């Protein structure tokens, strides 16, 4: 029996969902074309050096923030929502009790915002509100490419998956699925969620912390194919890094793109509702290639090796360097191209 | 400014979602064929006079229960989930404080179950758990018809929508959208939710309480069309009562079927995430036919007039019989076929 | 045994397919928006008072020509292709041998063009070539609305279906399907084709000749739904006259729109290949509503009654006015809304 | 200007389309499961050691014949249709005038059948008729996996593409697209067609003759994805050899499977109508990887190297062994995995 961390269902604060990602990019025009034409996000505000985008169903101001920078492209911050402003104060206490740095911040187009670093070094920010803007869900003539509907989750590489898992489950996250070799208690990957589907934040073992990707949902499979097709036509075709394919864990139909700065973004659909307490987390054996990748080509090696650094955050390798559970190593068991 | 009831965000119990519907039917074989081949539910258990079905992504034992009965087909009960068993005791107190009858019940294939009648007379039941069964989401070769993924919501006709709305918002439900004539404070329809999309329970003005329909999600638009096509091939084609079409309120792509006993079931997709506190409920003017039904034929009159009685529950008409806000009347403004 | 006309497989000319339709419209801007945004045609040339459009897979210059006119909107001409220029001379002889008027014409953006009137009074034109323009099939970012791929066929109301059928089958057309009441030899509707799918020109009994509609194919079902959705958003929603639904005859998934001038246009997919000589024409009984319209609402009465006149062409009613086989009458047997 | 062979539009016979493929397999049960559950063909007849299958829209008896054999799996024959029986006699004369062997054959479930070997050594057979069976196109509840609608084309490796091209164009085939390096007159690949879409028979340079694959159309993109998903669930997932992806030449959305005996089969949609004489063949430069494969991973090497032998037919390499135009070599310019 696997010894898994346990969710604290009685936290005094309510984190509701993953909210947004802040990335730096070198060429804002190229990024804008990629994210609007291929991914299908819509622009809420263009403020010169910063572009705010959201999915077609989102009424919030932004789920992706792109900031122009001449430096190495990074992820500045991962954003999450809490239900009410008062949750922020309680959340601040939670972080501090764990020895994690916090700070109040003034962030444009967000309500009161708490910035904090999690136990793995990931720079987060939390707010309860954003300005409300119109959902574009029925502006069908304006939908483009993948018609990205909303942000769903982020995937993050960390050297100690169990440590991150314990932290987030103490903060009220549910563990929906996890990857762990048979006859081992190692956690190679975990899918953690708050909003009632399988994932808000996903951790995989690897040098980190680094942002592996941000994931947006597409309404239908054909939107995902259209994103690829538009990528091909507009010159972004070489950025289709993995898929379209079907995930074992999480069951999603997916495709991964690299954006013009190399940031990775996933479009997917076919997740499932997960809000019943009796359902145990699903375990996946990384050595079972046929279940991990039910069909099609495995990911290219770079899909495992490359990721976006967090701005100014030191990285480290998994603590036991010879550990077979690092992302790259366990997946090497599959016939990686 | 519309005077709307307010959600109580601090209820001592946590209702998580709509869970199941219990219907009586005359011919269990005919119903089984309809719900498996056309709607695409899967059978969890066949116990002679009772059939338990669930959607392809559901790990819970049932979201639809069909009981054979020679009497007039009815809805026996609408089921909802709470997070933990301890929520049931607190919920019992809530109902009793409002003068609503409650009782503990032994219900097969459910955890401890609280049965209660809401302020509108709707027979409900609540439980925290069900036996866990395999999700069929990746058993692609077994998916049929509409490939119904999970139960989403029920729609119920009641004579006093505001009264029901106040009750459910006091129980923690959010109001996502509502139908109310301009320059009026009447509520003709409300969309109430707990699980973070637009609807768990929907009330419309009309003779009631009666169950207008239960709604299941389909993964993609083509599944909804396939449900119609299978209905046509298998002799259920005349049961396609409304659509396929696009709803104004809620934005869903939908179709409504009448099952062999006349119970109405909706398949839909294209809902949206709704879990941010700053988003105000969306108001719809029932007289604005072009927004209420953006394209295509309006519903047939019987879609408005006919519904399933609740077993043993007295019905009444909207209190002000001449009120133009009854479902049938306000929708008559649209060019109902 | 039904006494059907026979195809002449040895005609000295080769008509290959339906090619284009020429319509007059009052407001070219409104028509342009409708046909590009909703139907998804692309503009090849805008010459002030005339707009030339084509489908996204078409390499020919036009499949729809819209001419501005202040008069009653009409269909000026239905166009067909022959394989080679030399076919035109032989085709001219065919028409003249049947007492049908012909004339050579200079038509912009078409090769040598033969204009001719068929036995039912329909103004046709034939050419072997058009200027070649780029297929837009992989310009995915420019696809809109229904993404109409190519013209497929026209449907025409005529007072004598058998007479038209004999004429076209003598010209080499194949009869793929037909509508005829049981125990009758009346032809109420015929599907005639040259290009190897079920239809290039369809005749139905009714006052005529009048153009009932032109039909374009859409790549996928979702394109047809998107056409409806864009129509709804852009204010053309009331023009969704019939469907989306499934035809019995021909098996197409379809929707019918009325354009801003009332011309009717169909989008459909799911046709089939038909080029094997051993396959007998399929007979449909108009009284068998469940097979004619497998599911969903029947057509509105206006779908049967209204059609576009041909410019300057006299109309007449079916010769036997009391005949139950007129389009309107036999279809009245179905529960027309 | 490329010196291409020319189509003879005045052949005294009429080949209408690719009709069927005859393969030998080791385990008829495994093949049956693969072709019915994954590809979605339906069984017309099971005669013990021979299985006859067809697509869901096909009214002909078979488009795929599987024969049990303990030997190395081979392709026994590629079938084509002619319009009328009398075409067979004229076609016999054509083959003989080119020095190609012919023979009349009694073939079960086919009309009078002419067997002949083409100039490249491919064993062909031609017939005008087959027994008519019901189209399954509207038996929606029976559609499975990729819902293969009909056979479309075969692709064949030959050592001399130009020679094969000249032969087939003399037999009336149209050249729709071809692959040829810039500043060269080499033909590395040709798409030849009779039925009015881009391909009935495709030749690529390589050791041969060998059958590279048979291609079937799927109604919609989601059917192609479903074929992959069913393959994954039923244990055929490792047979997804290439794609899903988008072809440059031909524009198809496609996937390639290897069946249980290693025979390759393609499912695709998004072809286009091609029956206008003024449209010149489209030239593709094999060195232009971005246009040849607009997005996604390139094919695995085995996709280029492996193919099915024809029963009892000697193979040879391309005549100029150092020629950079062999399939494997020119495609090596692309970043083949």
Task: Please tell me if residue C230 touches chain A, with a CB cutoff of 8 Å.
Answer: yes
Residue-wise pLDDT for D250-274, tens only, equals 999 999 999 999 999 999 998 899 9
Q: Provide, as residue numbers in chain A, all residues whose Cβ is less than 8 Å from the Cβ of B81.
A: 275-276
Q: Which residue of D has its CA nearest to B234?
A: D141
CB D269 within 8 A of CB D243: no
Cα gap D245→D253, rounded to integer Å? 6
Determine which helix (DSSP H) or strand (DSSP E) holds A225, and give its type and residue range: helix A221-234
pLDDT of residue C324: 43
Closest residue by Cα to residue C109 from C22, C170, C229:
C22
- Distance from the first to the final alpha carbon of chain D: 34
pLDDT of residue B335: 47
Task: Please tell me if residue D290 touches chain C, with a CB cutoff of 8 Å.
Answer: no
Residue-wise pLDDT for A210-240, tens only, equals 999 999 999 999 999 999 999 999 999 999 9
CB contact (8 A) between residue B251 and residue A137: yes
- Rounded to whole angstroms, the maximal C-alpha distance in chain A is 54
Which of A225, A237, A296 is closest, CB to CB, to D240?
A: A296
Bridge partners of residue C77, in order along the sequence:
C22
Chain D: closest CA distance from residue B148 (Å):
15
CB contact (8 A) between residue A295 and residue D237: yes
Sign of CA dihedral C134, C269, C120, D196: positive
Closest residue by Cα to residue C294 from B28, D147, D137, B293:
D137
Q: Provide, as residue numbers in chain C, all residues whose Cβ is less than 8 Å from the Cβ of A234.
A: 141
- In this complex, how many residue pairs, one in chain B and one in chain D, have their CB atoms less than 8 Å apart? 33
pLDDT of residue A1: 60
pLDDT of residue B325: 47
| Percent of the residues in chain A that have a pLDDT greater than 90, as a whole number | 88
pLDDT grade for D182, boundaries at 50, 70 and 90: confident
Closest residue by Cα to residue C265 from C303, C222, C214:
C214
Cα gap C63→B68, rounded to integer Å? 57
For residue C316, what are the contacts with CB-CB under 8 A and spacing of at least 6? C159, C207, C208
Q: Provide, as residue numbers in chain A, all residues whose Cβ is less than 8 Å from the Cβ of D235.
A: 290
Prediction pTM value: 0.96
pLDDT of residue D319: 76
Distances (CA, A) of A210 to A121, A170, C84: 9, 22, 64
Residue A326 phi, psi (nearest 5)? -60, 150
pLDDT per position in chain B (337 positions), as tens? 679 999 999 999 999 999 999 999 999 999 999 999 999 999 999 999 999 999 999 999 999 999 999 999 999 999 999 999 999 999 999 999 999 999 999 999 999 999 999 999 999 999 999 999 999 999 999 999 999 999 999 999 999 999 999 999 999 999 999 999 988 889 999 999 999 999 999 999 999 999 999 999 999 999 999 999 999 999 999 999 999 999 999 999 999 999 999 999 999 998 899 999 999 999 999 888 889 999 988 788 899 899 999 999 999 999 765 454 455 555 555 544 4
Q: Residue A260 pLDDT > 70, yes or no?
A: yes
Sign of CA dihedral D111, D117, D118, D121: positive
pLDDT of residue D287: 87
Which of A37, A141, A144 is closest, CB to CB, to C230?
A: A141
Residue-wise pLDDT for A43-94, tens only, equals 999 999 999 999 999 999 999 999 999 999 999 999 999 999 999 999 999 9
Task: Please tell me if residue D232 touches chain B, with a CB cutoff of 8 Å.
Answer: yes
Q: Provide, as residue numbers in chain D, all residues whose Cβ is less than 8 Å from the Cβ of C58.
A: 273
State CA B303 to chain mean position distance.
Answer: 15
Q: Provide, as residue numbers in chain D, all residues whose Cβ is less than 8 Å from the Cβ of B37.
A: 141
Q: In chain C, which stretches have pLDDT less than 70?
A: 1, 320-337
Task: Please tell me if residue A273 touches chain D, with a CB cutoff of 8 Å.
Answer: no
Q: Provide, as residue numbers in chain A, all residues whose Cβ is less than 8 Å from the Cβ of C228.
A: none
Q: Which residue of D has its CA nearest to B144?
A: D141
Cα gap B187→B192, rounded to integer Å? 13
Cα gap B260→B33, rounded to integer Å? 10
CB contact (8 A) between residue A233 and residue C140: yes
What are the b/e assignments for D97-110, b being 16+ CB within 10 Å? eeebebeeeebebb
Does ipTM exceed 0.90?
Answer: yes
Cα gap D173→D8, rounded to integer Å? 8
Q: Provide, as residue numbers in chain A, all residues whose Cβ is less than 8 Å from the Cβ of D225.
A: 221, 244, 253
pLDDT of residue B299: 80
Tokens of D322: 């150092």
Cα gap D8→D192, rounded to integer Å? 13
Average pLDDT across chain D, whole number: 94
Cα gap B122→A54, rounded to integer Å? 39
State CA C162 to chain mean position distance.
Answer: 18
Task: Please tell me if residue A290 touches chain B, with a CB cutoff of 8 Å.
Answer: no
State the Cα torsion C26-C27-C31-C37 to the nearest 10°: -170
Task: Please tell me if residue A34 touches chain C, with a CB cutoff of 8 Å.
Answer: no
Closest residue by Cα to residue B133 from A132, D69, A279, A86:
A279
pLDDT of residue C301: 83
């Amino acid at each position: 029996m696997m010894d898994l961390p346990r969710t604290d269902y009685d936290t005094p604060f309510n984190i509701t969902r993953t909210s947004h990602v802040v990335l730096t990019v070198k060429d804002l025009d190229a990024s804008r074309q990629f994210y609007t034409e291929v991914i299908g996000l819509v622009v809420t505000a263009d403020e010169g050096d910063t572009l705010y985008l959201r999915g077609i169903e989102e009424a919030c101001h932004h789920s992706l923030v792109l900031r122009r920078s001449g430096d190495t492209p990074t992820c500045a911050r991962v954003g999450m929502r809490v239900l009410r402003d008062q949750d922020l104060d309680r959340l601040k206490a939670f972080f501090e009790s764990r020895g994690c740095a916090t700070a109040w911040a003034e962030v444009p187009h967000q309500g009161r915002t708490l910035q904090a670093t999690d136990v793995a070094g990931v720079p987060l920010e939390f707010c309860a509100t954003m300005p409300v803007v119109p959902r574009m869900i029925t502006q069908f003539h304006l939908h483009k490419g993948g018609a990205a509907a909303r942000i769903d989750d982020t995937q993050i590489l960390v050297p100690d998956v169990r440590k991150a898992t314990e932290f987030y489950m103490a903060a009220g996250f549910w563990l929906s699925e996890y990857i762990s070799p048979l006859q081992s208690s190692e956690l190679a990957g975990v899918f953690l969620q708050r909003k009632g589907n399988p994932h808000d934040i996903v951790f995989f073992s690897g040098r980190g912390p680094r942002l592996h990707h941000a994931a947006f949902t597409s309404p239908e499979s054909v939107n995902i194919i259209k994103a690829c097709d538009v990528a091909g036509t507009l010159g972004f075709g070489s950025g289709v890094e993995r898929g379209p394919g079907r995930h074992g864990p999480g069951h999603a139909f997916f495709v991964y793109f690299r954006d013009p700065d190399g940031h990775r973004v996933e479009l997917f659909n076919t997740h499932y509702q997960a809000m019943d307490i009796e359902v145990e987390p699903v375990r996946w054996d990384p050595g079972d290639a046929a279940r991990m990748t039910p069909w099609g080509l495995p990911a290219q090696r770079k899909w495992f090796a490359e990721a976006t650094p967090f701005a100014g955050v030191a990285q480290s390798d998994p603590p036991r360097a010879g550990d077979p559970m690092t992302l790259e190593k366990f997946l090497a068991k599959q016939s990686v191209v």
